[in-house]
């Protein structure tokens, strides 16, 4: 709705006495401002004028409505909000979007070496370690099968034959060394590995001693699961 009835009144808007006649408590036209006006102006400053032109409700700025590409959630953001430039509504959606963008990509050996060198010598906080572990746990892990160990809590996957005495016997037979890299347990912990991946098959020929590093690589399919026959040296 126009404020002035004619162009002549528009030209006379600078006349404070004529404009403020009958309006003794005239204030800034912007709803979020209550400063008094002087000199026949509509707004107390250029900031209020721009905010009013953009349809802002208060001094926080224009309301921008964004839609999350992951969960389709809509949220409002302002000019002075710290996360006004983010594309997702939460950290969980941002992590899912980044994971989906990198999922299926093959990383070259050179890139892996550069990533390894960039993280060498850096110390991580407990919260950072927890966040990393949460991001690669469960179905998000590349080695995820079907959640069997989570349902059975791990221990029920083995039977009573796979005892501590049997593990000690296997380690003694292998001279307390890894059958892959000859690690003696000083750097990595030693484990007893099932060659055929069957936790119920606890025959001596199916069990070997491996370190934690080789054990992880074998189950991750980055190290072969073949073992040479052990030659027993008689003393």
Residue/partner pairs of 171-174 with CB below 8 Å, 24 or more apart = 171/209, 173/204, 173/209, 173/230, 174/208, 174/209, 174/230
Count Cβ atoms below 10 Å from residue 93 Cβ, excluding itself. 17
Task: Identify each DSSP E strand in the chain by its residue range.
Answer: 64-67, 74-77, 190-194, 207-211
How far, in Å, CA of 216 to CA of 210, rounded?
A: 10
CB 64 within 8 A of CB 76: yes
Tokens describing residue 169: 């016997």
> Digits of tens for pLDDT over the chain (235 positions)?
556 676 566 555 544 444 444 444 578 877 778 788 776 677 888 888 877 777 777 777 777 888 998 888 988 887 777 777 888 888 888 888 888 888 778 888 899 899 889 988 888 888 888 888 888 877 777 767 665 544 444 555 667 788 888 999 999 999 999 999 998 888 889 999 999 988 888 899 999 999 999 999 998 888 888 888 776 544 4
DSSP-derived 3-state class of residue 95: helix
Positive or negative torsion for Cα 183, 206, 191, 211: positive
What is the model's pTM? 0.39
């Amino acid at each position: 709705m126009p404020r002035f009835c004619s162009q002549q009144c528009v030209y006379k808007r600078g006349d404070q006495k004529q404009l403020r006649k009958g309006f003794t408590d005239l204030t800034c036209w912007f709803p979020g401002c209550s400063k008094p006006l002087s000199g026949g102006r509509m707004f107390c400053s250029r900031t209020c004028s721009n905010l009013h032109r953009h349809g802002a409700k208060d001094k926080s700025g224009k309301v921008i409505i964004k839609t999350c590409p992951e969960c389709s959630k809509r949220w409002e953001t302002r000019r002075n909000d710290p996360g006004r430039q983010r594309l997702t509504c939460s950290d969980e959606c941002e992590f899912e979007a980044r994971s989906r963008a990198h999922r299926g990509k093959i990383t070259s050996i050179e890139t892996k070496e550069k990533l390894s060198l960039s993280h060498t010598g850096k110390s991580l906080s407990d919260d950072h370690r927890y966040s990393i572990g949460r991001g690669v746990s469960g179905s998000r892990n590349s080695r995820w099968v079907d959640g069997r160990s989570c349902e059975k809590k791990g221990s029920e996957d083995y039977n009573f034959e796979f005892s501590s005495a049997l593990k000690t016997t296997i380690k003694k037979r292998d001279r307390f060394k890894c059958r892959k890299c000859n690690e003696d347990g000083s750097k990595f912990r030693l484990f007893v590995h099932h060659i055929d991946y069957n936790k119920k098959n606890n025959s001596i020929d199916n069990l070997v001693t491996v370190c934690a590093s080789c054990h992880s690589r074998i189950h991750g399919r980055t190290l072969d699961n073949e073992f040479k026959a052990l030659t027993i040296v008689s003393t």
